[in-house]
Amino acid sequence: MKFGDYLYIAAAILFIWMTFVIIRNYFRSKFNDKGQRLDLIDEEEQTPEAK
């Protein structure tokens, strides 16, 4: 294989990894440790860690 083929494969793998990390961090910021959506939790139900 030529160098360009290796570069294309590396770029594809890097793109897939970056997309996975971005989506994972997005969902981590939307949910708490119990799996509850942070924007749907009532104020009195929130723990001090979630505020």
Res 17: pLDDT: 98
What's the Cα-to-Cα distance from 2 to each of 7, 9, 13, 14, 41, rounded to whole Å? 9, 11, 17, 19, 54
Q: According to the model, what pLDDT value does residue 49 have?
A: 63
Residues of the chain with pLDDT under 50: none
pLDDT in the model for residue 22: 97
* pLDDT for res 35: 80
Q: What is the pTM for the complete model shown?
A: 0.62
